[in-house]
Structure 1
Amino acid sequence: MGVSSKLAFCATIASAAAIQIPFLSVPSQSRVEATNETKPLVNSSEIQDLISGDRLLARAKKLFEIAKLGEEEYNHPTRVIGSAGHLGTLSYIYEQILQLGDYYSISNQSFPAVSGNVFESRLVIGNQVPKSAAPMGLTPATKDKEPVHGKLVLVENEGCQSTDFPEEVAGSVAFIKRGTCPFGTKSENAGRAGAIAAIVYNYEKDPVQGTLGTPSPYHVASFGLSGEEAEPIIKRLKQGKYVDAIAYIDAEVKSILTVNIIAQTTEGDTENVVMLGAHSDSVAEGPGINDDGSGSLSLLEVATQLTKYSVNNAVRFAWWAGEEEGLLGSDYYVYALPEEENKKIRLFMDYDMMGSPNFAYQIYNATNALNPEGSEELRDLYIAWYEEQGLNYTFIPFDGRSDYDGFIRNGIPGGGIATGAEGIKTKKEQEQFGGKAGDWYDPCYHQLCDDVGNVNMTAWVVNTKLIAHSVATYARSFKGFPKRALLTGTNEYESQTKYHGPILFF
């Protein structure tokens, strides 16, 4: 890859926002020139020994400086897609791989995406301001970006059919139960019925954090609300009592162009590809150094150290864009794969949030009974490694919350590890991993404080070593690993998954 490749990439991503972004690099990383020397076959213990906390921390500090490029537009550091911070992130990743010389071939996959940003919101029900009220992802603004006022109307069933909405919804705020259809369908049906806003409440006590998905001209400003706060409101409405609401959302939904970056070893069997990925973007609310700067930078560091070795099987690294908007980049990549290319990917490993401050060592509980065959073997590799290190681990649901989702839905074995997001650490997990029971694994999840200080270096180094181990293992051999088979029909995973990305769709 030469200067022309670099300039072409810069032009691609800059055209998405019509701005120029400087290329940024870690000062200690020099270009690796191609040589004819014979390199040793990758060895797991050796490549693990090359993982350095100092280098990871230096990369995290660089990424935070890049996130500051988003300050002019968002008034704080961010790497959300479409922002200068994300374009800078793409430039940084691309240049870092470019500096590794001819060891990798690099491609950038441009795709259209929908980006949403809520600038301000407020919901008042009766004389109360619900604590759990949160605007839906990709929600439109209220009319003229001003507060709207109307009575609250309880919608029959789950709002999945237009007939669920009574005539009195027109000019009112629709109060809709979470259920089996997408939130976008509920909001669209509310808009078609003339509602000025919509509130989707949970049938469980927990809050609802969702997205409307693909924009519709009939979507209305939409909030989620916990079942706990909804319960007394429902009781009053069923008693025939009048409840009013004031809703306000200042938001925008726009179409942009963004980029996946793919780097594959130029050596190794391309019929048996080892693939791993992390997402390059953050949410709009913060710089995303743990989510998922930690995973993105772990991949960069493993890709850098892998250049010291030869591989038997091709290794393909991916940095996805638009994960926070609903797995847009990974979905685009997988669904665009021709059948013959799909079958060449022996497995996909997802690395999202590697250094949560109140961490647990989490393994996706992917089994062959519910997922493409090979997913369980990957899970067992993680188990064996933690046990060999004398470390505790726990299982988490394989529930569609990260970029493995599109791969599993398309028959490609997958799995991964994580350290926790907004989930609550249990007392047992405090005994296993330290930290504080009762707190989130990442107290700064999707917030402005997800900065350099939000990454637990012990967990990050441990999991980057495990990433290196997973790459080294399968880059050497797939001996004993199930052969690929193309998906026929749907799998059990698809029928049981409620998430598509970090937020619920229904």
Structure 2
Amino acid sequence: MRVDSRTLPLVPLLLGPVGALQLPLLGGSSSASQAPIAADKPLISSPLLQEQVKAENLMQRARQLYKIAELGEGEYNHPTRVIGSKGHLGTLDYIYSTLTNLGDYYTVSNQSFPAVTGNVFESRLVLGHTVPESATAMSLTPPTKHKEPVYGQLVAVANLGCDASDYPSDLDGAIAFISRGQCPFGTKSELAGKAGAVAAVIYNNEKGDMSGTLGTPSPDHVATFGLSDTDAAPFLEQLHKGEKVDGIAYVDAIVESISTTNIIAQTTGGDPDNCVMLGGHSDSVGEGPGINDDGSGSLTLLELATLLTEFRVNNCVRFAWWAAEEEGLLGSDYYVSVLTAAENKKIRLFMDYDMLASPNFAYQVYNATNALNPVGSEELRDLYVEFYEAHDLNYTFIPFDGRSDYDAFIRNGIPGGGIATGAEGVKTVTEQGMFGGVAGEWYDPCYHQLCDTVANLNLTAWEWNTKLVAHSIATYAKSFDGFPKRVEETSISSFAEEPKYHGPFLRQ
């Protein structure tokens, strides 16, 4: 093992046997074997790397990860790997110790960064004499004052609530009723708080339920709920008629700042100025153990990082396990934000692997085109398509809309893409014919829930997708011939517009 001298001070607590916390030894002797990379290892081969991928090995890792998630039970009363929990610290140790036991094949580093985590313990919204079924406390919402119910008149905010002038003078002590649209939810909550509101309700101006995140905390944020268009409609009508609507809001929640850690492993062999990079996230939501989201992606990376050590590479391969994805892509955002221009240019492409084993799966390819993304994104998309077609597997394109850790890369000029198997989206009848499963149900019925356990994995989908990840690594680790060179700009304004999603939650 080589430990990067730039390793930052915060290092995760490490696990020996599951349940026993210990501190890592950095910079000293290591129990890892120190065998150098043999020059006579075969050059990376996609067929040979794929051949070693076995579903039973992936499942064995998943079982270990679930045991680690159980370390979170003391704090959360159920298994979880949310950042700051013992379950996440154990996850970091499992990844870190696995990599360091691979000898000198990789340089392994920890990158600590500030993060924000939150947990809603209880919430309730009453409007008039109704408890709207769709009312959901937003991620990273603060609690109501003193974590007690607050009472106030429901007051409609003008326009889309993106300017201070939209908030009426009679909002002091009231509950702001704000339309979704144009600006982030966090901006609306902050403006409502500055105008004196005791809580805010942001209703959907499109069809369907709505949940989201307030994003970066502000001292002016107030307890904030999301509401569907259907549930909002009768109250909008009453307010437009000049009728009064009483409201009660209650949120018991915490929002706190912590430090957490990305883990990066780069091959010591291969051209360091031409890196193929791939990542998955190491954390889960607080509500469950996250064995599919993103245990499946992060374990795929760990398995392939292990198998790759049997080969030589021409181009460096850089693996990343991001922390705080579930809080809004915080780990990957931080990583890209501190890259120098020169280091940015060394990353020829970034591949995102988040949720590869959904039980009601579809083989999904991010529709990353060169017209809307850094040049090279489309070539990566086509590599995935060609793999599925070569194996007579159906596939479908999904939006490249900022929902996972590729976002910071493409917004800073780095080509990107990835595959997935679906989250809370509903499988169509057409997709049922293409992939099997059940039309009308979520691709992952346990998405962000307690039941995202080892029983929530489709091993057929996971094995095929791990073979595809292996193919993507091997292709570019061997050669970038035919792949577009990086453009001169490291930050391209046309890719920098804020998306509706930033991670798993809507942000506006």
Return the TM-score normalized by structure 1: 0.95
Q: 3-state SS of the aligned residue for 1:270?
A: strand
Alpha-carbon distance between aligned partners in 2 of 1:487 and 1:319, rounded to the nearest angstrom: 26
Match status 1:404 vs 2:415:
no
In structure 1, what is the equivalent of residue 183 of structure 2? 181
**Equivalent of 1:133 in 121, 132, 135:** 135
**Equivalent of 1:299 in 295, 298, 301:** 301
Alpha-carbon distance between aligned partners in 2 of 1:438 and 1:205, rounded to the nearest angstrom: 17
Deviation per residue, 1:103-125 (Å, 9 max, x gap): 01100000011111111111111
CA RMSD of aligned residues (A): 2.0
Deviation per residue, 1:266-287 (Å, 9 max, x gap): 0000110000000000011110
Match status 1:385 vs 2:387:
yes
Q: 3-state SS of the aligned residue for 1:322?
A: coil
Q: CA deviation at 1:158?
A: 1.1
**Equivalent of 2:280 in 278, 281, 286:** 278
Is the CA contact 1:43–1:472 (under 8 Å) kept in the aligned structure 2?
yes
Is the CA contact 2:412–2:495 (under 8 Å) kept in the aligned structure 1?
no
In structure 1, what is the equivalent of residue 364 of structure 2? 362
**Equivalent of 2:499 in 483, 497, 500:** 497
For 1:227-306, what aligned pairs fall within 5 Å after superposition?
A: 227-306=229-308
For 1:74-89, what aligned pairs fall within 5 Å after superposition?
A: 74-89=76-91
Q: CA deviation at 1:12?
A: 2.0
Alpha-carbon distance between aligned partners in 2 of 1:471 and 1:13, rounded to the nearest angstrom: 27
**Equivalent of 1:461 in 460, 463, 467:** 463
Alpha-carbon distance between aligned partners in 2 of 1:494 and 1:217, rounded to the nearest angstrom: 27
Q: 3-state SS of the aligned residue for 1:46?
A: helix
Deviation per residue, 1:83-121 (Å, 9 max, x gap): 111011000000000111110110000001111111111
Deviation per residue, 1:124-153 (Å, 9 max, x gap): 112222121111111100011011111111
Alpha-carbon distance between aligned partners in 2 of 1:154 and 1:135, rounded to the nearest angstrom: 19
In structure 2, what is the equivalent of residue 320 of structure 1? 322
The total of aligned residue pairs comes to: 496
For 1:22-421, what aligned pairs fall within 5 Å after superposition?
A: 22=22, 33-34=35-36, 36=38, 38-421=40-423
In structure 2, what is the equivalent of residue 13 of structure 1? 12
Structure 2: unaligned runs, 5 residues or longer: 25-31
Q: CA deviation at 1:357?
A: 0.6
Deviation per residue, 1:71-90 (Å, 9 max, x gap): 11111111011111101100
In structure 2, what is the equivalent of residue 476 of structure 1? 478
Q: CA deviation at 1:363?
A: 0.2
Deviation per residue, 1:21-57 (Å, 9 max, x gap): 3599xxxxx9684364510001101110100111100
Alpha-carbon distance between aligned partners in 2 of 1:192 and 1:254, rounded to the nearest angstrom: 21
Q: CA deviation at 1:488?
A: 6.6
Alpha-carbon distance between aligned partners in 2 of 1:249 and 1:31, rounded to the nearest angstrom: 51
Change in Cα spacing, 1:363 to 1:23, as seen in structure 2 (3 Å) is: farther
Alpha-carbon distance between aligned partners in 2 of 1:128 and 1:259, rounded to the nearest angstrom: 44
Alpha-carbon distance between aligned partners in 2 of 1:238 and 1:219, rounded to the nearest angstrom: 26
Q: 3-state SS of the aligned residue for 2:286?
A: coil
Q: 3-state SS of the aligned residue for 1:90?
A: helix
Q: CA deviation at 1:492?
A: 3.9
> Which amino acid is 1:465 matched to?
K
Is the CA contact 2:189–2:224 (under 8 Å) kept in the aligned structure 1?
yes
Is the CA contact 2:344–2:490 (under 8 Å) kept in the aligned structure 1?
no
More helix per residue: 1 or 2?
Answer: 1
In structure 1, what is the equivalent of residue 448 of structure 2? 446
Return the TM-score normalized by structure 2: 0.94
**Equivalent of 1:487 in 486, 489, 495:** 489
Alpha-carbon distance between aligned partners in 2 of 1:354 and 1:98, rounded to the nearest angstrom: 25
Q: 3-state SS of the aligned residue for 2:422?
A: coil
In structure 2, what is the equivalent of residue 27 of structure 1? none
Alpha-carbon distance between aligned partners in 1 of 2:493 and 2:499, rounded to the nearest angstrom: 11
In structure 1, what is the equivalent of residue 28 of structure 2? none
Q: CA deviation at 1:213?
A: 1.2
Q: 3-state SS of the aligned residue for 2:496?
A: helix
Q: 3-state SS of the aligned residue for 2:66?
A: helix
Q: 3-state SS of the aligned residue for 2:12?
A: helix
Q: 3-state SS of the aligned residue for 2:294?
A: helix
Is the CA contact 1:123–1:130 (under 8 Å) kept in the aligned structure 2?
yes
Q: 3-state SS of the aligned residue for 2:111?
A: strand
> Which amino acid is 2:21 matched to?
I
Q: CA deviation at 1:292?
A: 0.3
Q: CA deviation at 1:13?
A: 2.0
Change in Cα spacing, 1:23 to 1:79, as seen in structure 2 (3 Å) is: farther
> Which amino acid is 2:12 matched to?
I
Q: CA deviation at 1:14?
A: 3.6
Is the CA contact 1:138–1:213 (under 8 Å) kept in the aligned structure 2?
yes
Is the CA contact 2:13–2:23 (under 8 Å) kept in the aligned structure 1?
no
Q: CA deviation at 1:324?
A: 0.5
Q: 3-state SS of the aligned residue for 1:153?
A: strand
> Which amino acid is 2:243 matched to?
K
Change in Cα spacing, 1:159 to 1:309, as seen in structure 2 (3 Å) is: same
Q: 3-state SS of the aligned residue for 2:47?
A: helix
Is the CA contact 1:10–1:91 (under 8 Å) kept in the aligned structure 2?
no
Deviation per residue, 1:142-170 (Å, 9 max, x gap): 01101111111111111111111112211
Is the CA contact 1:10–1:21 (under 8 Å) kept in the aligned structure 2?
no
> Which amino acid is 1:234 matched to?
L
> Which amino acid is 2:431 matched to?
E
Is the CA contact 1:21–1:91 (under 8 Å) kept in the aligned structure 2?
no
Alpha-carbon distance between aligned partners in 2 of 1:488 and 1:32, rounded to the nearest angstrom: 37
